[in-house]
Chains A and B, each alone.
Chain A
Amino acid sequence: MEFTREIYWNVGHGALTLVPMYLLVIAALAVLVWGFRKRLAVYRQGLPLDRTDQLGARIIDMLQNVLLQKKVARVVWPGLLHGLFFWGFFLLLIGTTLIVIQADFTDLLFGIKFLKGTFYKLFSIILDLAGIVSILMLGGLLVRRYILKPEGLETKRDDAIMHGLLFTILISGFVIEGARMAVTEMGTPLAHWSPIGMAVAGLMSGMDEGALRMLHKTTWWFHLLLVMGFIVAIPFTKFRHILTTSANYLFADRGPKGKLIPLDLENEEAETFGATTLKEMTWKDIFDADACTLCKRCQDRCPAYATGKPLSPMKIVNQIGEAAFTDPDTKLIDLIGKDALWACTTCRACQEICPASIEHIRKIVDLRRSMVLMEGEFPGEEVMAAMEQTEVNGNPLGIGYASRGDWAEGLGVKTLEEDSEVDVLYFVGCYASFDKRNIAVARSFIKLCHAAGVKVGILGKEEKCCGEPMRKMGNEYLYNSLAQENIETINGYGVKKIVTSCPHCFNTLAKDYRDLGFSVEVVSQVVFLEGLLLDGRLKVKAEGLSCTYHDSCYLGRHNDIYDAPRALITAAGGKLVEMAKNREEAFCCSAGGGRILADENIGERISVKRVMMAHATGAEVLLSNCPFCLTMFEDGVKGAGVEETLRPRDIAEVLAERLL
């Protein structure tokens, strides 16, 4: 016998079925298009931003993320449920499409049927399983949302509509299949290729054929109406993420990671700088809100949120969207709240985990820019003072600029002014220049370089703050002037290669300065040292060290440097016990985003929380690679009361002690 089935069995394949069915489909699709066109007009309220460059790569990224659910699957359980549900539903969509193609196209026009034989058997079992997997996964998601209720997960009307609609569609699908099979397939070998359908048909064994046909026909139309309802609902409910999130993969920021879009400070026509309303943000910032599924992964990882500060990255994204769709003139800063905006450490945990490729940091910095540049407002007077100190002395600590090179005394390091023939320029940064604790790190680095035969030079009093904290705080103007001065100085000496020990300096010189025409190669200290180690120029002995390692945000998430520091630790003989939150998931020290300049006066201290995570590993040493982190942890171990058992250190210090 031929394995196949009669399409449109029982409902009829005549005009009485096809005309109303296709009218419904056309109507539903029309509503879908209309719905999105309306939204498109809202997105267009934003400023232009080109997100169609590298189109090929963008499309590949999108396909990978949609089909493989790459980003979604990064959080195991909900990711798995969503991923499998997606594939189940996607297969059902493909199956339905194949049926349409055969019944109303190839068969109708050319008499070609392909849903037959082995292919049909596979088709049957795959769709049958896809259906049941979808139901099970949806059930899992429903249990999670409505029974387990994870902290912070917002459940709204949309979620009820979505769960209800999807469940009814899936179950009614099985009812249709069951009724059909009860009449036509029970007892045939084909039935076994639709095990779920067969089980449903089994449940209907008591019904006579008339009733089954009646049930089948009504459910079929009901199912069709629900599917049309689903299509119609896409633009008006969170279902829209099927399209918007997918599109957001296409429009994603393709880096370099953590580089901000510069403000045009030369533009004399400009009346405003930064954003106060969404009209001064880009279309992508509005679109991001539509791509957000409220999965709260960003919020779960936000160090500010976790310590009781009024910041939720998810909320900000959606507040911008809400304003766009209600009142585009809404003052976003008032809507979101200044404390929330100032609380961000730009640690990028939100952006890195976001399964919808939303860009949180840029929005926050844009709003900060308008507070700083248009209102002269800061989170506190201490931050304004730090800005003024930096204007005067080129460092936020307000220490006389002329003593910037004093830390290197006795090390035999020359400034480029004295001798510009060097292998590398060490861009020291403010903390390693002025803070006794971090000077120890800088001195260790120099020792390592000398041991490896690397000739290092510094800028001494000619070096200025790289401008990173100021820029992240929104002070683009001050950042720009600092950057210009540094670039001019560095270019003036014809430097070939720069090493930075501060990840903030690294990110700024290596990425942000590029927009200002800076092109010198910049390497971070850990990568540089790893290179020396691999080349055999640097030799250290492995000596027992019980430690844990904190991934700084700007080396880790902003630059994906995770292995080099670990390789150095291993080379030094470190027995590394990882914290639960490590690598991409590392928890910030609190000092990013310019917060190093600010008083942390709301909620718990982030640094103390991180120190407790390190303490929980039982390690004796908390290793890090960033002067801000080290500063925060030196205070943090005391604040947490664990200074006797946990010692914060920089990797360079540990290596310098183990020089052979």
Chain B
Amino acid sequence: MKILVCIKQVPDMESKFKIAASGTWYDSADLAWRMNEYDEYAVEQAVQLKEQVKEADLTVLCIGSERVKETMKKALAMGCDRGAHVADDDCAGKEPYEIAAIIAEYAKDKGFDLIFTGMQSQDRGSAQVGVLAAEMLGIPSISTIVTFSYADGRIEVKRELEGGVKALLKTRTPALVTCQLGLNTPRYPTLPNIMKAKKKELISLPVADLLKVEARMETVKMYFPEKKGGGLVLEGDPGQLADKLIQILKEKTGVLA
């Protein structure tokens, strides 16, 4: 069985973000980088599947600069067999369609039985790449899965809907699934596996070889939103305070909808 898991390196969301000089993206200085949280679940599920079927080859794919190799090493330490690094110093500017196209171009002739991706990335949050890549490859895809099982060329999953409701779905491989948080408990790489990971194959491919489409949209401006409440301090009569707070909750949050 051949398995592909696609991961992204993202800034830690606790980082101090600054807007880059271009004004269209965040500055990469002073950021701490990590594996996109959703992708950790994807890697874990892929490794679990590999462990289940025994005879499997698991590739991890990541697009980005040299820096992303650190994140790839974590995936290798978690149990991926080999790494495919799509070398691209400007991957932050690529929109989901381009990213999906790169993945599809890479995967199209490799006969992957299953492809795992995160449900979305933490920085862009578009939730498109996985489904788009599957459409490009012409294989079925199921997004936002919270359970996964495989047997005899068929997968059974539950997708998470709103309010904790789940939908049960089945399909045949080859297929692609996008993983939601909570799908499993991503493992903490063991030290022997961290050491083994250092010796695993990690091939870099130039992005130009794989990117054959053009962007369909662009970010024209990135900025900090006006402060939600902005550390608003409310004082005064409790009754009026309650009304004020309800007004704020209505305006700034979706919870009273």
Contact = CB atoms under 8 A, between A and B. Distances in A.
| A adjacent to B, CB under 8 Å | yes
What 7 pairs across the A-B complex have the smallest Cβ distances?
A: A376-B188, A402-B30, A373-B191, A400-B15, A402-B16, A400-B14, A392-B34
Interface string B189-209: 111101100000000000000
A514 B30 CA distance: 30
Contacts of A272: 192
A477 B30 contact: no
B32 interface: yes
Contact of A373 (B15, B33, B34, B190): B190
A265 B14 CA distance: 30
B14 A399 contact: yes
A403 B16 contact: yes
B144 to A, nearest CB: 21
- The winner among B32, B187, B188 for most chain A CB atoms within 10 A is B188
A220 interface: no
Interface of B: 12, 14-16, 30-34, 185, 187-192, 194-195
- The winner among A265, A372, A373 for most chain B CB atoms within 10 A is A373
B190 A402 contact: no
B32 A376 contact: no
Nearest to A267: B195
B192 A402 contact: no
Interface string A385-411: 001100111100011111100000000
Contacts of B195: 268
B76 to A, nearest CB: 15
A374 B192 contact: yes
9 contacts: A271-B192, A272-B192, A392-B12, A392-B34, A393-B32, A398-B14, A399-B14, A402-B16, A477-B191
A421 interface: no
A477 B194 CA distance: 10
A375 interface: yes
Contact of B191 (A265, A384, A402): A265
Contact of B190 (A374, A387, A398, A476): A374
Nearest to A477: B191
Contacts of A461: 30
Contacts of B194: 477
B190 to A, nearest CB: 5
Contacts of B192: 271-273, 373-374
Contacts, number: 57
B70 to A, nearest CB: 10
Contacts of B187: 376
Nearest to A378: B188
Nearest to A375: B190
Interface of A is mostly: helix
B191 A392 contact: no
Interface string A259-287: 00000010010011100000000000000
A387 B16 CA distance: 20
B14 A393 contact: yes
B16 A392 contact: no
B212 to A, nearest CB: 34
Given A376-B188, A381-B185, 13 more contacts: A268-B195, A374-B190, A377-B188, A387-B188, A391-B34, A398-B12, A400-B16, A401-B15, A401-B32, A402-B30, A402-B32, A476-B191, A477-B191
A461 B195 CA distance: 28
Given A392-B12, A393-B12, A393-B14, A400 B32 contact: yes
Nearest to A270: B192
A461 B32 CA distance: 11
A638 to B, nearest CB: 24
A167 B109 CA distance: 88
A374 B191 contact: yes
A393 B188 CA distance: 17
A271 B190 CA distance: 11
A35 B42 CA distance: 58
Contacts of A398: 12, 14
Nearest to A381: B185
A507 to B, nearest CB: 24
Interface in A312-348: none
A265 B195 CA distance: 9
Contacts of A268: 195
Interface in A605-623: none
A393 B14 CA distance: 9
Nearest to B195: A268
A376 B189 contact: yes
Nearest to A268: B195
A273 B14 CA distance: 33
B32 A392 contact: yes
A403 to B, nearest CB: 6
A381 B185 CA distance: 9
B182 to A, nearest CB: 11
A400 B18 CA distance: 13
Contacts of B32: 392-394, 400-402
Interface in A346-386: 372-378, 381, 384
A400 B16 CA distance: 6
Nearest to A384: B188
Contacts of B30: 400-402, 461
Contacts of A388: 34, 188
A614 B136 CA distance: 68
B12 A376 contact: no
Contacts of A400: 12, 14-16, 30, 32
A264 to B, nearest CB: 11
B37 to A, nearest CB: 10
A398 B189 CA distance: 19
B183 to A, nearest CB: 14
A651 to B, nearest CB: 31
B107 to A, nearest CB: 29
Contacts of A381: 185
